[in-house]
Homo-oligomer: A and B are copies of this chain.
């Protein structure tokens, strides 16, 4: 058997069993960025059955981006989607079966959670949050915090698969408990989701990374993002020519929102053109030289984390209304940016 030797559970046996059980002959495999270095090995694993493997190489940042069109175009009879969980939020009507391999982390979080207690001093009521990779560890983390005398809250909103789970665009499991907690502890890697917790709640947020065992408070970084949002909104407020971006990824199509934004911009005397796209890149937007600002109805990641690489402001729908003077900045800020 192929050993993928990776600190995430890639469920090799389940993958082969599911392919065999379903008699799948052409399997489309969707990998997040971090797993692409394993593409050849994962394809070989699939081909240990009788199936042909095709690895989807288009960018994929979430379960909002299921390769359903690709699967159809390639006549695949099974889609294996790695790294994200099935969530109601992005549940798609699909003609082909989808297997989610959530890539749970094979790492003990206890030490970093114990270590995080030093950073949680002075706060009694702690909210816990994590990505799908560490959801199995959240009860253990809760126990450690409770043994240290903390009161622990874990959100459990419908539509999200696991208690405490956050997605890059869905922090309801934090927002729902935000008023009850003094601070959040986010278990996971990278700043992306942890700063999202702060942006959604404005509560002190500590990130505890079980791999690097680093513990870091993310508030200052998140506040820089907030400052940049304010700058972009100010810039956009004088824009006359707007592009309203409609996403083409399966879970990113918010057509009605886009139409409403276009109409509302036009009612304010602006010009607005609807632009449909799969990937929002600086190269693509650069060609639309006369457009001065963008309203983005797709993934909020672009607006919050990537705007530095774009030459023009890219606002979320609510931010467009701040730029138009329909929502006050303070109102937007205190309701949570995400």
Contacts and interface: CB of A to CB of B under 8 A. Distances in A.
Contacts of A275: 39, 54-57
A169 interface: no
Contact of A255 (B74, B248, B255): B74
Most B-side CB within 10 Å, residue of A40, A253, A276, A278: A276
A277 B246 contact: no
Given A28-B276, A53-B273, A277-B58, A248 B73 contact: yes
A287 interface: yes
Most B-side CB within 10 Å, residue of A53, A56, A259, A273: A273
Nearest to A32: B287
A266 B291 CA distance: 49
A36 interface: yes
B274 A43 contact: yes
A158 interface: no
Contacts of A59: 284
B73 A273 contact: no
A279 B58 CA distance: 7
B39 A273 contact: yes
A71 to B, nearest CB: 9
A287 B37 contact: yes
A242 to B, nearest CB: 9
A110 interface: no
Question: How big is chain A's contact interface, by range?
Answer: 35 or more
Contacts of A243: 39, 57
Contact of A273 (B43, B70, B288): B43
A290 interface: yes
Contact of A37 (B73, B253, B277, B288): B288
A69 interface: yes
A54 B248 CA distance: 12
Interface string A258-277: 01000000000001011111
A253 B289 CA distance: 32
Interface in A31-68: 33, 36-37, 39-40, 43-44, 52-59
B70 A39 contact: no
A287 B55 CA distance: 13
A241 interface: yes
Contact of A289 (B37, B245, B284, B287): B37
A69 B55 CA distance: 20
Given A246-B74, A284-B59, A276 B37 contact: no
Contacts of A33: 287
A57 B291 contact: no
B57 A277 contact: yes
Nearest 9 pairs of A and B residues by beta carbon: A36-B287, A57-B277, A57-B275, A43-B273, A54-B274, A37-B289, A40-B273, A55-B275, A54-B276
6 contacts: A33-B287, A43-B273, A57-B243, A58-B276, A58-B277, A70-B276
Given A37-B287, A54-B246, A59-B284, 5 more contacts: A28-B276, A40-B271, A54-B274, A57-B243, A69-B73
